[in-house]
Structure 1
Amino acid sequence: MKRSFYLLGIAALYAMVFSCEAPPAGNAETVNTAAASLTPLPLTSSAFEKSSVTLDKYWYQGKGELNVYELEQNRYQGIHPGEALLIFVTEDFLTDKQVKNDSYKNPNSTAILKMNGITRFTTGLYDYSIMTSVFTPVKSQDFSRTLKVTQSAQDWCGQVFSQINLQNEQYQYKLFSYFESEGDEQKEAAANFLEDEVMNRIRMDYSSLPVGDDLKVIPGLTFLRLRHQSYQAYTANASLTDYAGTEFSGEALKVYTVEYPEFKRTLNIVFSSVAPYYIEGWIDEYPSAFDGKLRATKATRKKTIQDDYWSKNRSTAANASLRNELGWD
């Protein structure tokens, strides 16, 4: 990480939940879906490409940005307390292998904004741990799509892993599940806009987020697993407006809203429109799969620090103090 952090800087993620609930009966499958040509998203140069003293002082310090959120998680037939951690950081990424550039011998490399999102909560006796990683190129004019998304979910019933890779103007999708009717699965589909990349786009250039009715959006990988829905693009309505609510506080707040009529789901991500564009929180409302009642997951930012956390891997009093300062239990 060292070279990438010192050369380029850092930046933001999002995750939800998985379940012991068995999916509908069916067969594991390999599906090939014809993809439309890859139309570039209407992205301008991101904040990382612009010359800005303010942004330079923030992003180019050789540190990562760590954000801790208080979590109220919609799961089963109730709301469960938990916590979420969003880590934003840039690093060098190999576009052919789609892995971190460790050796710097491969010329197929570009700078990406990586978001690592960790969600933890307890439901009764047992708990959940979910992690999502999103790899979005900084040079949006050269790479108009996120290159890779990975997601893993663990609870006391088992674990699931899924991954999306951009290949030949399509997203290749793989799922490895402990459910008989699901595991294992592979698909190819058109490279539509990813819900999982929204937070990276906010940190890079929120004004370029797609808005309008009847958009094609691929929902977050964790939501698809939670509701056992098929990996594909769904019709969504998206808007970017000033935030007028009272659940979140901050400077000059905006809200990006994505509505999925098919799921009766509304996702609101609230963030500051002032650099460096902190994600203040999100509300994700949809009916429970168990009783049909409309409930909402809510995450509220508690603490943000910048630190070269990868170098602090020893069990020392100083490192323990930093962990306490961050408020990550």
Structure 2
Amino acid sequence: MKFQDLKFSLLTNYSRALLGWSSLLLVLLSACGPEGRDGVKEEEFAGYWYKGLAEINVFDLTQVRYGEEREGHAVMIFVTEDFSRRKQVKLDDPSGAGADARKVMKLNMMREFVTGIYPYHTMLSVFTPVYDEVNSYKLTASVTEWCGQAFTQMNWKNSGYQVKLFSYFESEGDQELKIDAQPEDELFNLIRLNPELVPLGDVRLIPSLIYQRFSHVPLSSERAKISLEELRDNTNQFVVNYPTLKRTLTIQFKKFFPYEIISWEEVQAKPNGDKEVTKAVRRNLEMVDYWEKNNKIFEPLRKDLGL
């Protein structure tokens, strides 16, 4: 082999090796820290959400049930926590979980209201990755009242949601299915991360799990149109319209970080043309490590929250 050919060969091999080490270094660096969703500003986000506190929002609720408006309250709790991507549960030991550990924005949303003599309690939980560019890892929803209870769980696996539904109704009980679409319920979390993450235009969504339990429609993906409207007082709103379901969801939020949720409204058009309107308007917000305040001496704090 000539010297020039040997020199070229050595340089080529060196370049390939250098490129390989550079690629490996990038992988290692990305594994050591958050990759970051587009639009999530790490320093700003961490300064608000990584202080060991939860944001508790209390809303005045007007809930339509059985054709009548019911007065009650809703609570939306936003908090970040360490989550197992593989097991899809909250981690007990994040430091020992290695690459399986993921930061999520968790929403726990409760509604409480009374229908005649008996009460209703609903709870929705949504676990949305802060840094991974994928749909929410997990969603659960439950509805309990004196007639019985219903529960739904959705887990993001193999590019789709593995769904299990349980209900005391014969026609709805114990189902398993797969749905490949974005859940409506994660829109609240995407707004909190950055409203720019919410898709606009024609999309396919899985309607709210609480709506599905109340309406008794089959759980599936539906065509929807999402639009963004600018309001006054530094407030914007997303409008989600389902033409087939004749249902519209409107979410109002502050247009600047941390993008607080101000109100939400669901409008359902009935076959006779009447409209049923469920609405929640926020009246209190507190940052609290509520899990550390479970003794009786802390019960007066509920009054501060308006509960």
Calculate the TM-score normalised by the size of structure 2: 0.84
Equivalent position to 1:320, from 279, 294, 299 = 299
Measured in 1, the distance between the counterparts of 2:191 and 2:176 equals 30
Q: Does structure 1 residue 300 correspond to structure 2 residue 281?
A: yes
Q: Does structure 1 residue 179 correspond to structure 2 residue 172?
A: no
Measured in 2, the distance between the counterparts of 1:101 and 1:216 equals 31
RMSD across aligned positions (CA) = 1.6
Equivalent position to 1:153, from 139, 143, 146 = 143
Structure 1, gaps ≥5 residues long: 1-42, 245-250
Aligned residues: 270
Measured in 2, the distance between the counterparts of 1:292 and 1:278 equals 33
Q: Counterpart of 2:63?
A: 73
Within a 5 Å distance, the mapping from 1:1-329 to structure 2 comes to: 44-47=37-40, 49-52=41-44, 55-104=45-94, 105-107=96-98, 108-139=100-131, 142-190=132-180, 192-213=181-202, 215-243=203-231, 251-288=233-270, 293-316=274-297, 319-328=298-307
Measured in 1, the distance between the counterparts of 2:229 and 2:269 equals 25
Q: Counterpart of 1:21?
A: none
Question: 1:75 touches 1:288 (CA, 8 Å); kept in 2?
Answer: no
Structure (1 or 2) with the larger CA radius of gyration: 2
Shift of 1:45: 2.4
Report the AA paired with residue 45 of structure 1: D
Measured in 2, the distance between the counterparts of 1:264 and 1:170 equals 26
Q: Counterpart of 2:14?
A: none
Measured in 1, the distance between the counterparts of 2:275 and 2:230 equals 25
Measured in 2, the distance between the counterparts of 1:204 and 1:159 equals 32
Report the AA paired with residue 229 of structure 2: T
Question: 1:44 touches 1:205 (CA, 8 Å); kept in 2?
Answer: no
Question: 1:243 touches 1:254 (CA, 8 Å); kept in 2?
Answer: yes
Measured in 1, the distance between the counterparts of 2:284 and 2:188 equals 17
State the secondary structure of the residue aligned to 1:179.
coil
Measured in 2, the distance between the counterparts of 1:189 and 1:265 equals 20
Question: 1:72 touches 1:81 (CA, 8 Å); kept in 2?
Answer: yes
Shift of 1:44: 4.6
More helix by share: 2
State the secondary structure of the residue aligned to 1:112.
strand
Measured in 1, the distance between the counterparts of 2:151 and 2:141 equals 6
Shift of 1:57: 3.9
Measured in 1, the distance between the counterparts of 2:74 and 2:108 equals 10
State the secondary structure of the residue aligned to 2:185.
helix
Percent identity (aligned): 40
Measured in 1, the distance between the counterparts of 2:175 and 2:46 equals 43
Shift of 1:65: 0.5
Shift of 1:56: 4.3
Measured in 2, the distance between the counterparts of 1:259 and 1:51 equals 35
Measured in 2, the distance between the counterparts of 1:269 and 1:177 equals 29
Distance 1:185 1:292, change over 3 A: farther
Measured in 1, the distance between the counterparts of 2:286 and 2:153 equals 29
Calculate the TM-score normalised by the size of structure 1: 0.79
Runs of 4+ in 1 over 4 A off after TM superposition: none
Distance 1:287 1:76, change over 3 A: farther
State the secondary structure of the residue aligned to 1:143.
coil
Shift of 1:181: 1.4
Shift of 1:159: 0.1
Of 110-119 and 73-82, deviating more is 73-82
Question: 1:72 touches 1:297 (CA, 8 Å); kept in 2?
Answer: yes
Measured in 2, the distance between the counterparts of 1:315 and 1:57 equals 31
Question: 2:84 touches 2:101 (CA, 8 Å); kept in 1?
Answer: yes
